[in-house]
């Protein structure tokens, strides 16, 4: 399996730390602005600090916390959801795609049972074990690959 429950716990800790940074990036300038408003009676400065805190929080959430949140949701979904398995021959790899908030490799397999072409996605951060022509046993959640086992290595093509 490519995803384990221990990884989900680590992602949960990482997400908590990143959300804490977002919260503090808003709270500290906002708190300083409130303190200035009540002590120095400087309304414009407290407004400015509040806007700076809000802008920092939005920026940090968009670029720091949101990718971690998307990956956490993806890993939680694939570890706790239902999965299916099939055997198939690897056909080709196409360009990366952005799916469910993460970058994925787009892969095509020929199903061993009915010969249909199946589209699957592999997390781009995971090791890429596929060789053209080789047969694999795959465990999928939806179209996401969550487990790989090579069943038959590729056959060499005879030289003409």
Q: Does 118 share its domain with 69?
A: no
Residue 117 lies in a domain: yes
* pLDDT at residue 69, as a whole number: 94
* pLDDT at residue 113, as a whole number: 87
Q: Does 101 share its domain with 129?
A: yes
Work out the mean pLDDT of the chain and round it to a whole number: 88
User: Of the candidates 47, 80, 113, which is a domain's last residue?
Assistant: 80
CATH number of the domain to which 131 belongs? 2.40.50.140
- What does the alpha-carbon distance between residue 156 and residue 15 come to, in Å, rounded to a whole number? 46
Does residue 19 surpass a pLDDT of 60? yes
Q: Does 119 share its domain with 147?
A: yes
Beta carbons of 54 and 26 less than 8 angstroms apart: yes
User: Of the candidates 62, 80, 98, which is a domain's last residue?
Assistant: 80
In a 3-state reduction of DSSP, which class is residue 101? coil
Beta carbons of 148 and 126 less than 8 angstroms apart: no
pLDDT tens track for 116-147: 999 999 999 888 889 888 899 999 999 999 99
* pLDDT at residue 48, as a whole number: 84
Q: Does 89 share its domain with 76?
A: no
Range ranked top by mean pLDDT from 16-20, 50-54, 110-114? 16-20
Beta carbons of 57 and 26 less than 8 angstroms apart: yes
- What does the alpha-carbon distance between residue 39 and residue 37 come to, in Å, rounded to a whole number? 6
Q: Does 75 share its domain with 46?
A: yes
In a 3-state reduction of DSSP, which class is residue 133? coil
Instruction: Give the mean model confidence (pLDDT) for residues 3-29.
Output: 91
User: Confidence band (pLDDT; 50, 70, 90) for 159?
Assistant: very low
pLDDT tens track for 60-86: 999 999 999 999 999 999 888 899 999
* pLDDT at residue 157, as a whole number: 53
What token pair was written down for 46?
């407290």
User: Of the candidates 80, 115, 130, which is a domain's last residue?
Assistant: 80
Number of domains the chain is built from: 2
Q: Which domain holds residue 110?
A: 84-152
* pLDDT at residue 156, as a whole number: 58
- What does the alpha-carbon distance between residue 67 and residue 61 come to, in Å, rounded to a whole number? 9
Does residue 155 surpass a pLDDT of 80? no
Q: Does 100 share its domain with 67?
A: no
* pLDDT at residue 121, as a whole number: 95
Q: Does 67 share its domain with 99?
A: no
- Look up the pTM and report it: 0.79
- What does the alpha-carbon distance between residue 128 and residue 148 come to, in Å, rounded to a whole number? 10
Residue 157 lies in a domain: no
Q: How many angstroms separate the Cα of 111 from the Cα of each of 87, 91, 120, 125, 149? A: 6, 10, 11, 25, 15
């Amino acid at each position: 399996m490519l995803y384990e429950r221990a990884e989900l716990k680590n992602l949960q800790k990482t997400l908590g730390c990143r959300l804490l940074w977002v919260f503090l990036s808003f709270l500290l300038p906002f708190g300083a602005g409130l303190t200035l408003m009540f002590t120095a009676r400087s309304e414009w400065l407290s407004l400015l600090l509040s806007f700076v805190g809000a802008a920092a929080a939005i920026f940090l959430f968009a670029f720091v916390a949101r990718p971690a949140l998307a990956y956490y949701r993806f890993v939680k979904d694939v570890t706790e959801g239902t999965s299916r398995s099939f055997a198939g021959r690897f056909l080709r790899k196409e360009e990366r795609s952005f799916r469910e908030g993460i970058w994925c490799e787009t892969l095509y397999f020929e199903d061993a049972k009915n010969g249909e072409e199946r589209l699957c996605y592999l997390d781009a951060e995971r090791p890429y074990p596929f060789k053209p022509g080789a047969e694999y046993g795959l465990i999928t959640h939806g179209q996401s690959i969550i487990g790989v086992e090579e069943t038959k290595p590729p056959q060499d093509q005879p030289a003409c």
